[in-house]
Amino acid sequence: QVKDSAALTRDVLEQHFRDLKGTLQKLLDERLLSLLQEVDAIEQESIQPLDECQKLIEQGVSTADDLLREGESAVDGDVAQQNEKLCNFTKKALHIQLDSLPEVPSLVDVPCLSAQLDDCLLTILKNQIFRHGTVASRPPVQLEEFVEKPGGILVRWCKVEEEFPAQDYRLQCRRGAAGPFEDVYVGSDTEFMVLHMDPHVEYQFRVCARGDGRREWSPWSVPQSGHTTLVPHEWTAGLEGYSLSSRRNIALRNDSQSCGVLYSKAPTYFCGQTLTFRQTVGQADRRDSLGLCVEQRSDGDSLQRDRAVCISTNGAVFVNGKEMTNQLPAVTSGSTVTFDMEVVQLGPCSSEGGNVKLRVTISSNNREVVFDWVLDQCCGSLYFGCSFSYPGWKVLVF
């Protein structure tokens, strides 16, 4: 691990600084081109009026020179020609303004280009470069635990550098040992339930952290593999009154007038697990229910019956159809209802049956009730179910 991580770190550093040098070279070339273009623009803009002034002066000098030669020619020759030439010379001389010249700008008004290059840029760059990048012997956060869940994995992580002021964590996952990692969670919690995972398939995870008030992320933790052997929880398809998501882990009570209990596809709940319902609420009814049962029944419109435990949407708890004295808060949108069970007493099991006592904990809105559920037969697994009288309810199970 040390050699592999060191080699990978060298490759990352070399590639990063190669990219950085290329980018800096590109930026310097772009800046140089911009400054040269600015020099060209100032030169062109400043030289044009001076060129025009020079042309006017040269034109005036040339005209005066031609007039001078014409005057000399008028003086030479016979008298008749002299009078005519002098008359023409006089007329032309009167129309030419020999004493008029264009205004020539003073020397201080003529641009004189220069380049100002501040050497402090090198000092700033030097200081920034020598502070750029760090090498850590270990990441400040590491993966701590993988807990198998039906169709998912509960991933937990912890800080290994106590002085690191972590504000956010970033968890990534990929299927197998190849391919790109993808974000599955960004937030302040130190655990996350990764859903929609295929059973008996290895997934790789890694996590990093971001310090308080910082933008950059810390180095990644050592990638670790996790998997689940538990099939995902699914609702039974085809029951009128309920529509299911593509993965069949979300049930929506539709506008159908048909009522009944929607059960799980199979008895996928085992003692020692946590079953979680997360819902969007609709209009409540006292016969609504969320819970677990021994078997599916086609009769009845609620889990408030024998061989079942459930909670109504108003918070009432039912065991084998009887309402308990203890009551939980009413179910609200986005809240979770969880069921935990463990075997506390197991009677003799045989082909004729047996008996079992289960310790049940139901939690909702930060409150919980605990009770014993006595069954007249041994149950290795249980069905889950729900029933709602009115449309608008949506339940995710995991």
Q: Is 237 part of a structural domain of the chain? A: no
Could you say which of 131, 152, 185 is where a domain stops? 131
187 and 46 fall within a common domain: no
Q: Which has more confidence, 166 or 97?
A: 166
Of the pLDDT bands very low, low, confident and very high (cuts 50, 70, 90), residue 80 is: low
86 and 145 fall within a common domain: no
0.85 cut: is pTM over it? no
284 and 369 fall within a common domain: yes
Looking at the predicted structure, is the pLDDT value of residue 99 above 70? no
Of the pLDDT bands very low, low, confident and very high (cuts 50, 70, 90), residue 142 is: very high
145 and 106 fall within a common domain: no
119 and 96 fall within a common domain: yes
Looking at the predicted structure, is the pLDDT value of residue 74 above 60? yes
Looking at the predicted structure, is the pLDDT value of residue 258 above 70? yes
254 and 213 fall within a common domain: no
Q: Is 235 part of a structural domain of the chain? A: no
54 and 102 fall within a common domain: yes
pLDDT at position 129 is 87
221 and 250 fall within a common domain: no
pLDDT at position 191 is 96
Q: Is 233 part of a structural domain of the chain? A: no
Average pLDDT over residues 7-31: 91
Domain of 374: which CATH number?
A: 2.60.120.920
- The pLDDT tens digits of the residues spanning 223-241 come to 999 999 988 999 999 999 9
Q: Is 325 part of a structural domain of the chain? A: yes
Could you tell me what percent of the chain has a pLDDT over 90? Answer: 55
84 and 43 fall within a common domain: yes
150 and 110 fall within a common domain: no
Measured in whole angstroms, the distance separating CA 356 from the mean position of its chain's CA atoms is 49
- The pLDDT tens digits of the residues spanning 159-215 come to 888 888 889 999 999 999 888 999 999 999 999 999 889 999 999 999 999 988 788
Q: Is 136 part of a structural domain of the chain? A: no
Number of neighbours of residue 277 by Cβ within 10 angstroms: 22
pLDDT at position 354 is 57
Looking at the predicted structure, is the pLDDT value of residue 350 above 50? no
154 and 257 fall within a common domain: no
150 and 26 fall within a common domain: no
Domain of 111, in residue numbers: 1-131
